Amino acid sequence: MQELVLHPECAPGPITRLAASVEATADGCRARFRLEGDVTAIKVPEPATGERMDNLWKTTCFEIFWQPHGGSYYREFNLSPSSRWACYDFDDFRLNSRDAPVSAISIACAVSDDALELETTIASELPLPADIALNAIVEDREGNIQFWALAFAPGKPEFHSETCRAITLEASA
């Protein structure tokens, strides 16, 4: 697991640590996110039917950005603890957003007072080699939002920035 950092413009909140990992699979990828702290003080979406839904990023949500080497195209996954998800393709930085094809997404979430762990398996065409971003949005019960990522570009939090894509996955031999 790799440590995510809190964006410098975000005030400290109930979550004190966030880590994540990702690995390529034969038909997509598998990822894991773990946040630690006072989970009772954050908004955790209620369990729901695993289905595609927009605007998941407006509350506690996890994200994966997948950009194949050598191009400007990238794919964004939004993964809610509720088990709802979204997947978008972009031609370049925030350009021509559209629903991306996904064969299947499974999300499992375990919540306790001091930790939340989300695991996902995604079946979708994800070319390798690729640069990957693992991000999280955490909303506390007062409506304050924290942004977590592997790295941030200077300025406001921007998960679409290539700076956030700090993991490189290579094609297997």
pLDDT tens-digit series, residues 125-157: 999 999 999 999 999 999 999 999 999 999 999
Work out how many domains the chain is built from and give that number. 1
Indicate which CATH number applies to the domain containing 32: 2.60.40.1190
d(CA 83, CA 90): 23
pLDDT of residue 97: 87
Q: What is the mean pLDDT of residues 97-113?
A: 94
User: Does the pLDDT at position 18 exceed 90?
Assistant: yes
pLDDT of residue 173: 52
pLDDT tens-digit series, residues 35-93: 999 999 999 999 999 999 999 999 999 999 999 988 899 999 999 999 999 999 999 88
- Provide the domain limits for residue 39: 2-169
pLDDT of residue 128: 94
**Which carries the bigger pLDDT value, residue 70 or residue 33?**
33
pLDDT of residue 99: 93
pLDDT of residue 171: 78
CA distances (Å), origin 29, targets 66, 98, 103? 10, 20, 12
Spatial contact of 138 and 151, defined as CB atoms under 8 Å apart? no
pLDDT class of 31 with cuts at 50, 70, 90: very high
**Which carries the bigger pLDDT value, residue 21 or residue 96?**
21
Q: Which pTM was predicted?
A: 0.94
Spatial contact of 23 and 29, defined as CB atoms under 8 Å apart? yes
